[in-house]
């Protein structure tokens, strides 16, 4: 049985997720930890629950979602996995963060890129890949079917959607992917977004002003 834990980071409120199960293995998704406080929260949770990190996943590679990639690599030896179409975004992170005066530890590059469809597995857990660009050029979401939750990155938020004014973004592509790929999930599917509180597919179908 899979469980999910949210960590909301100090810098612009990015959500990092740990998905874990009874095997003790876990996946770290979108490590946006910027401060020592944020880093320590992740490490403490892993240690206190006797977890073994076995996967580092990025939904996409905007700087706020990859700040902690190097930290996770240094502590657990994991390189990130994401769709190859996000590589250019990752390579631009040093310039973006320098322009904003932020300290960025350069992320390691993947040994493995994720496809548009398929699954990633760890322990007793399978995460299905949902390719949903629009916010970024090759954004992936991760769906856990048994527990019916989606780690959605910056595609769909509670009563909002991901911004589309950054390089590789496209408003109509994002809306189409939400309608065709996310809104086909069960209405009671819990969506854990890259920023803000969780929501459900059904709630967004009925109430999201960008999609109703």
pTM: 0.98
Residues near 44 by Cβ (< 8 Å), separated by ≥ 6? Answer: none
Chain segment 138-174, per-residue pLDDT in tens: 999 999 999 999 999 999 999 999 999 999 999 999 9
The per-residue pLDDT for 11 is 86
Chain segment 91-150, per-residue pLDDT in tens: 999 999 999 999 999 999 999 999 999 999 999 999 999 999 999 999 999 999 999 999
Distance CA(32)–CA(10), nearest Å, equals: 9
**Mean per-residue pLDDT for 14-20?**
98
Distance CA(179)–CA(53), nearest Å, equals: 33
Distance CA(8)–CA(116), nearest Å, equals: 27
Q: What is the rounded average pLDDT for all residues in the chain?
A: 97
**Where are the chain's structural domains?**
2-207
Distance CA(44)–CA(5), nearest Å, equals: 12
Fold of 2-207: Metallo-beta-lactamase; Chain A (3.60.15)
Chain segment 28-60, per-residue pLDDT in tens: 999 999 999 999 999 999 999 999 999 999 999
């Amino acid at each position: 049985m899979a469980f999910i834990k949210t960590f909301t980071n100090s810098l612009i409120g990015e959500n990092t997720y740990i998905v874990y199960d009874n095997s003790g293995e876990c996946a770290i998704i979108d490590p946006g930890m910027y401060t020592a406080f944020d880093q320590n929260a992740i490490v403490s949770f892993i240690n206190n629950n006797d977890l073994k990190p076995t996967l580092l996943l990025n939904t996409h590679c905007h700087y706020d979602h990859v700040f902690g990639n190097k930290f996770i690599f240094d502590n657990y030896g994991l390189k990130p996995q994401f769709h190859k179409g996000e590589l250019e975004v990752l390579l631009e992170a040093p310039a973006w963060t320098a322009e904003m005066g932020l300290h960025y530890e350069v992320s390691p590059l993947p040994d493995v890129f994720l496809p548009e469809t398929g699954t990633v597995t760890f322990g007793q857990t399978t995460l299905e890949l949902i390719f949903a660009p629009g916010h970024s050029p090759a954004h992936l979401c991760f769906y856990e079917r048994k527990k019916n939750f989606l780690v959605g990155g910056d595609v769909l938020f509670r009563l909002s959607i991901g911004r589309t004014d950054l390089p590789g973004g496209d408003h109509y592509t994002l809306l189409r992917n939400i309608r065709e790929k996310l809104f086909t999930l069960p209405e009671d599917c819990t969506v854990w977004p890259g920023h803000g509180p969780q929501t459900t597919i059904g709630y967004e179908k009925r109430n999201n002003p960008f999609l109703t």
